[in-house]
Structure formats: C-alpha cells, structure tokens
C-alpha cells in the first residue's frame, strides 16, 4: 500500500492491519505526521502537533502487538482532539488569545482517556474558533483553517480543524464538539461523517453548565463504521456529567435495521427548518438520498406542518451564554478577542432574565414537538446545511448567507438552521455526505433519531453510504 492510500484507509481497517502485524503503527504515524507537515501551511488544521509523543506511543503500540497483549479497537490509530478538550501535558488554548499562555493540562479529558484506553494515539490538537463560537474556523491567535476541497472556502465550524484534517488524510479520526452544529456543520463542509450523540450518551465534562447543557462531543471520520467505533469507545457515564449517569446501554440496534430491507421503516423529511431557502444542488442530493432509502423499502414522507424552530429563543440562549461566560474577560482582553465573540456578547447583554427563561420553556416545547414527530417516524432527515461551504472571509456576526444568489439571513437563519435545534432537544443527529454541489464542494444530509438511538441512526447512514459511496473521493493535495 502506498502512502497516499494509507492516509485514506479507514481507521478500523488500519487498526485490523496493525493487530495482524501487516502494518506498523510507527509507519502509520510517520505517514500522518509527514502529511501534516506538508498540508499545515496550506490548511492550518492544527494548533499543536504531538510528534514526539505520537512516535513514542506508536513504538509502544508495535511492541504490544509483538508481545501478544490484548489490543483495543483503535490500537495504533492516530486521533486528533479539538482544542477545547484537555490533553494531559498540552495547553488548552480554546482558539483565544486569552489562553495563549495557558499551562499544560494536568489530566486528560475523560474522552481522551477512553480513546487512549482503546489504543488510539493522540497526534495533535485541532483548531477551533474562539471558544467554538461560530460556524467558521478562524481565530485571532491561530488564523484561518481552510477547506481542503477549495481553500477559498471555510472548513465550517467550530470543529473545522478536525473535519478538514480528516478530509485531507491528516489522521482518520477527529474528536470534535458540537454546541450548535459544530461537528455536523464542518462534516458537511468537508465531506466527512460527523455524529452528535444523544444528550448524556457521551459525557461532556468541559461544560460550565452541566444541567442546562446543549454541548456534545462526537467523532469526525471518513466512514460511518469509523464514526460508530469511535462513538462506542466514548460512551458511558462519567461523574462530572449528570446527564451521563443513567447507566443504560444505548448501543442496541433495532432488529428491523439488521438487514438492508427497510420495509416498514418510516422516514419523515424536512426541506427547510427556519431557513427560507435551500440550494438546488443540496435539494437534488437530498432527493437522491431519500430515493436510495425508498429503493430499500423505506416509507418516505415529507413533513409539511409548521414547527416553531425557536430561532430567536435559540439566540437568546446562545448569545446570552457568551455574555455571561466571557464578560469577565473584557476589561483586559477586549482588543484581542474575536469580533464575532464580542458581537454575540453585546447582543446577549440586552436579553433579560425573563427572555432567558422564556427561551428555556420554548426549548422544552421544541423537544416535545420533535418527540411528536418521532412518534410518527423512525427517523427525520434534512439537509445538514442549506448550501455548500461559505467563503473563508465571511463575517459570521453580520453577513447574510446567499443561497442560489438570494440573501437568507445570518448563518443560523440562512445556512445552519437544521443543526442547532437538535442541540437544544438532545436527539442524536448524524451528518454524512450526499454528493457534490455545482461548485464541486460536498453537500450533506442529516439523520435524526429517537433519544438513545444513535446506533440506528448510524445504521441508516451506513446503508446510504453503501448505496451512494463517498469515501473513495479525495480532495486535491496541495
């Protein structure tokens, strides 16, 4: 296998080759490190590359194979971690000048611990906008992360570094976070698979508001199987996350999804959520995806009733949260913060406690509305975004998104309207590629399932992946 093929080999296949002694973990890591060195100046996907640590861990992984030790499902596989989560010995800079000189983390985040226990080799920290604040990945201290399919376009946000790295072959797995679509949006922009799990399935220790949490951690991968294996490794309760302490196993597959005959499976699809338009190429690829499931026997029906997607109340929660959490930084750091963060904070400062509580009530109403839909349908399907990736210079605070030449509002109104609602309701949501747009960039569909049903969601995604293969496509190298 040549080096380029190795870089785009699925993680599960590479791990099997390492376990069988057919691939050296060190050779694999060296190939990935070499690719990062070549592509980092062009794409800017990493804040820090842990080359020495990765080589040392790879040598230990090879020794474990030779010694016949028990090996985990990700043994010898390079994984990168979004720079909002702690990796022991490495600063967590959060895309912000405020934390540019942060001390090294004293411990691994629980998810990093679980990845290491599964045999993964942590190869670096991937880029994020300041505090994961927006749907594009750029920050004052770390610059712009670019889309490997077209470097004039964004990689999405806020897990844009992870998505772009996976798409470009700079490590097969990335750990992202998703507070308003931040795994699924970058997955859509970069043509990879991204999963936001059910609230509580994968613990999220990094949030400051554990009980009101709407932030999730999830995998970015080139195949559904890779995403599923990484997700399974990270599931289970953790003491710091109360939502994760229910103790139930959420990985069971519904029997009717075991085969490829979807007779009796009901799919309800939404062309739009709050957004006024969807691009013609995105819609065409949505229709082709729905047709593929229908050909397997699924009942596919459009959902036409009006739903209050709480776009305004979502902004109250989101921007009000930034006002509260970042306010203490302003006296010293205001001139070094992202203008988008500052704009969100300023807007959030005008919301009242009554506004905030009303938004929380509306969140409950949205959850119940989605529960009502899922009583009728096994899955909900939408586009992941209304159009392909935006230009890298797009101002996420003020610019209006254009869809087929028509201005459609700011990003959450006009582009990513399909994503944030399911952060607020907690349902699992998977983004996977649906094809290419007219501009040659990836498009994507989103599958939403019942609480705890991410295995079913992943299975439906895998069936689409088989019917409309994607992973063989590679972006142009620099």
Is residue 263 part of the annotated active site? The answer reads no
Q: How far is CA 337 from the centre of its chain?
A: 24
| Rg, C-alpha atoms of the chain | 21
CB 183 within 8 A of CB 197: no
Token pair of 381, please?
A: 């399907």
Q: What sign for the dihedral angle of Cα 44, 193, 12, 1?
A: negative
Q: Annotated catalytic residue: which of 82, 125, 196, 362?
A: 82
Q: Annotated catalytic residue: which of 126, 139, 155, 158?
A: 158
Say how many C-beta atoms besides its own lie within 10 A of residue 155's C-beta.
33
Is residue 158 part of the annotated active site? The answer reads yes
Dihedral-angle region of residue 44 (phi above 0 means left; psi in -120 to 50 means alpha; beta otherwise): left
Q: Annotated catalytic residue: which of 139, 159, 182, 289?
A: 182
Residue 160's nearest CA partner among 171, 143, 149, 176 is 176
Secondary structure, 3-state, the chain: CCHHHHHCCCHHHHHHHHHCCCCCHHHHHHHHHHHHHHHHHHHCCEEEECHHHHHHHHHHHHHHHHCCCCCCCCCCCEEEEECCCCEECEECCCCCHHHCCCCEECCCCHHHHHHHHCCCEEEEEECCCHHHCCCCCEECCCEECEECCEEEEECCCCCHHHHHHHHCCCCCEEEEEECCCCCHHHHHHHCCEEEECCCCCCCCCCCCCCCCCCCEEEEEECCHHHHHHHHHHHCCCECCEHHHCCCCCCCCCCHHHCCCCCCCCEEEECCCCCCCCCCHHHHHHHHHHHHHHHHCCCEEEECCCCCCCCHHHHHHHHHHHHHHHHHHHHHHHHHHCCHHHHHHHHHHCCCCHHHHHHHHHHHHHHHHHHHHHHHHCCEEEEECCCCCCCECCCCCCCCCCEECCEECCCHHHHCCCCCHHHHHHCCCEEEEEEEECCCCCEEEEEEECCCCCHHHHHHHHHHHHHHCCCCCCCCCCC
Is residue 182 part of the annotated active site? The answer reads yes
Question: Using CA atoms, how far apart are residues 210 and 363, in angstroms rounded to an integer?
Answer: 16
Largest CA distance in the chain: 63
Query: What is the set of active-site residues?
Result: 82, 158, 182
């Amino acid at each position: 296998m040549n080096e380029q093929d190795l870089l785009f080999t699925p993680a599960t296949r590479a791990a099997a080759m390492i376990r069988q002694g057919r691939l050296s973990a060190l050779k694999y890591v060296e190939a990935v490190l070499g690719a990062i060195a070549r592509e980092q100046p062009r794409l800017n996907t990493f804040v820090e590359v842990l080359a020495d640590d990765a080589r040392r861990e790879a040598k230990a992984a090879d020794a474990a194979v030779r010694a016949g030790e028990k090996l985990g499902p990700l043994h010898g596989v390079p994984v990168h971690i979004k720079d909002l989560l702690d990796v022991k010995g490495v600063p967590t800079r959060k895309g912000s000048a405020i934390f540019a000189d942060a001390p090294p983390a004293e411990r691994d985040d629980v998810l990093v611990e679980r990845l290491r226990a599964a045999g993964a080799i942590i190869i670096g920290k991937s880029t994020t906008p300041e505090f994961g604040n927006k749907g594009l990945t750029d920050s004052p201290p770390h610059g712009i992360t670019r889309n490997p399919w077209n470097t004039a376009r964004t990689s999405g946000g806020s897990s844009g570094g992870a998505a772009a790295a996976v798409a470009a072959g700079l490590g097969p797995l990335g750990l992202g976070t998703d507070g308003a679509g931040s795994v699924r949006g970058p997955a859509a922009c970069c043509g990879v698979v991204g999963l936001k799990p059910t609230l509580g399935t994968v613990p999220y220790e990094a949030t400051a508001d554990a009980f009101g949490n709407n932030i999730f951690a999830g995998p970015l991968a080139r195949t559904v199987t890779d995403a599923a294996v990484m997700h399974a490794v990270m599931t289970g309760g953790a003491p710091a996350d109360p939502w994760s302490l229910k103790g139930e196993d959420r990985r069971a597959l519904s029997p009717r999804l075991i085969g490829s005959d979807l007779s009796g499976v009901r799919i309800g699809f939404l062309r739009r959520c709050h957004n006024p338009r969807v691009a013609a190429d995105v819609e065409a690829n949505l229709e082709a995806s729905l047709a593929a499931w229908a050909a397997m026997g699924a009942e596919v029906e459009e959902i036409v009733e009006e739903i209050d997607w709480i776009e305004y109340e979502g902004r109250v929660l989101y921007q009000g949260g930034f006002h509260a959490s970042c306010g203490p930084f302003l006296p010293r750091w205001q001139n070094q913060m992202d203008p988008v963060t500052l704009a969100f904070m300023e807007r959030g400062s005008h919301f009242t406690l009554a506004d905030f509580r009303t938004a929380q009530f509306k969140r409950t109403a949205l959850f119940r509305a989605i529960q009502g839909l899922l009583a009728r349908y096994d899955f909900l399907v939408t586009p992941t975004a209304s159009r392909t990736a935006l230009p890298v210079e797009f101002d996420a605070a003020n610019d209006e998104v254009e869809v087929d030449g028509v201005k459609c509002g700011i990003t959450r109104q006009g582009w990513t309207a399909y994503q944030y609602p399911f952060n607020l309701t907690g349902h699992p949501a998977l983004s996977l590629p649906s094809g290419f747009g007219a501009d040659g960039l990836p498009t994507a569909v989103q599958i939403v399932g019942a609480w705890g049903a991410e295995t079913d969601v992943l299975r439906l995604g895998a069936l689409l992946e088989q019917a409309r293969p994607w992973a063989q496509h590679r972006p142009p190298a620099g």
